[in-house]
Amino acid sequence: MGNQTMQSAPVQYLDALSSEDGASRAIELFRDTFGAEPDGVWSAPGRVNLIGEHTDYNAGLCLPIALPHRTFVALSARGDDTVRLVSSIGDGGVTTVDLGGLAARGVHGWAAYPAGVAWALRENGFDGVRGFDAAFVSCVPVGGGLSSSAAMTCSTALALDDVYGLGFGNSDEGRVTLIGAAMKAENDMAGASTGGLDQNASMRCTPGHAILLDCRPELDAFHSVTQQPFDLEALGLELLVLDTQAAHQLNDGQYETRRGMCEDAARLLGVKNIRVVADEISHSVGLDRAVTASGGICAHDFENVVESADAALAEVLGRLSDETMKRRVRHVVTEIWRVPQFVAAFSAGDVKMAGELFNASHDSLAADYEVTVPELDVAVDTARRNGAYGARMTGGGFGGSIIALVDKGQGRRVAQSIADGFAAHGFRAPRALAAVASDSARREA
């Protein structure tokens, strides 16, 4: 081929199922499998995190939007403790779980997620929750780092809340209780150590907004989330999401190792979490005062403030001896700082700055946090070289998806250039999605 650019097949776009389609397919699968009508249909979305990666379990900040891509569940309550599950993604077979006497890690495979939600609710004291029959239909790509797991646990949690009359689904505060059960299902039943970003996004986002999620455990529902307008149209932009199709797994120990090292670092630094380090420095050098969501980035000497913050961080890192640990902490602290900067830049219409923050986030995840893989780096690099204002991996990493901020109408071209680059590298063909900020979990029928 010499120096010729390799042309690949047209990049595949993953369309979202409409509410009507998703609901009727879930009902049909339910009927075909269980020979009855479901009590109702509920759905929950996947997410992309705009910025603030690997910060949630460090009590930090994140900025996710809900995708239009959702998981639909047709579900009926049962009078006993049996759970029967079927999914359009599987082989059509029914998985049965007995909730009676079930213990953590007692279910394997995908059934651990929905069955785990009922188990978690009961463990959390909601004894009225019994078994259920459920049929899942989803257009959230599995393993794409777009929270297909949270879409499943959150749709189940909302459905169980409804059919068992718990009454949490109708308020933001109540939803925080359901998020707790969804997280417990993922952590303790499925063994996937997730930190809350995905479930909060799936349960609390609103159309046209990103949520600024503050993960400090001491915050109540009212203070942990603020809705931030995220209107790409108004800025003439498009957010390309590209699933690299590189295998993505959170339960192979890498995520746990990162998390454990952050906790160790906090202990060594004598703070309850790394967020404290980020906030103390930010406050002492005036970074927090320079960056406000309403006023944009307002210090005329912003660069100097950032330099002082970096210098103060270097001093703190000097108290740690392990070089890897230093880099991990540097990622978390600088990433927490980038979140309000992105909010300020975006709300001021400063697309260039917003893009630079995407780039800085990715570079930090690649070099300091070491959670990228070649597919993610190539995708990001190609997007940047083809006109993206900025591009970064989104989600946990080790595979999964990237996001790129591009001019409206340019997403398909950029996606295709990445697909061509992937073909040249011998990678699997990626798949693209168009992202608009969508709605959280809801009842569909």
What does the binding site for ligand GLA look like in residue numbers (CB under 6 A)? 49, 53-54, 56-57, 194-198, 250, 395-396
Give me the least distance between CB of 201 and ligand GLA, in Å please: 9
| Residue 95: C-alpha distances to residues 84, 85, 87, 133, 431 (Å) | 6, 5, 9, 10, 30
Say which of 133, 161, 198, 243 is annotated catalytic: 198
Q: Which is nearer to ligand GLA, 144 or 195 (CB)?
A: 195
Pick the closer one to ligand GLA by CB: 77 or 250.
250
- Which element (helix H / strand E) includes 360? helix 351-367
Q: In residues, how long is the chain?
A: 445
Minimum Å gap between C-beta 250 and ligand GLA is 6
Residue 197 CA to residue 204 CA, distance in Å, equals 10
| Nearer to ligand GLA (CB atom), residue 131 or residue 395 | 395
DSSP structure class, residue 7:
P
Closest approach, Cβ 127 to ligand GLA, in A, equals: 28
Nearer to ligand GLA by C-beta: 196 or 355? 196
Nearer to ligand GLA, 296 or 396 (CB): 396
Residues 329 and 100: their CA atoms lie apart, in Å, by 43
Q: Which residue is nearest to ligand GLA (CB)?
A: 396
Residue number with CB closer to ligand GLA (340 or 395): 395
Helix 274-285, helix 323-347: angle, nearest 10: 60
CA-CA-CA-CA torsion sign (52, 57, 60, 61)? positive
Backbone phi, psi, residue 243, to 5°: -85, 115
**Region for residue 370 given its phi and psi (left: phi exceeds 0; alpha: psi -120 to 50; beta: otherwise):** left
User: Hey, which bits of 260-309 come out as E strands?
Assistant: 291-292, 296-297
CB 393 within 8 A of CB 362: yes
Q: How far is the CB of 16 from ligand GLA (least distance, A)?
A: 20
Q: How far is the CB of 358 from ligand GLA (least distance, A)?
A: 14
As measured in angstroms, the least distance from the Cβ of 395 to ligand GLA is 4
172 included as an active-site residue: no
Residues 6+ apart with CB under 8 A from 2: none
Catalytic residues: 198
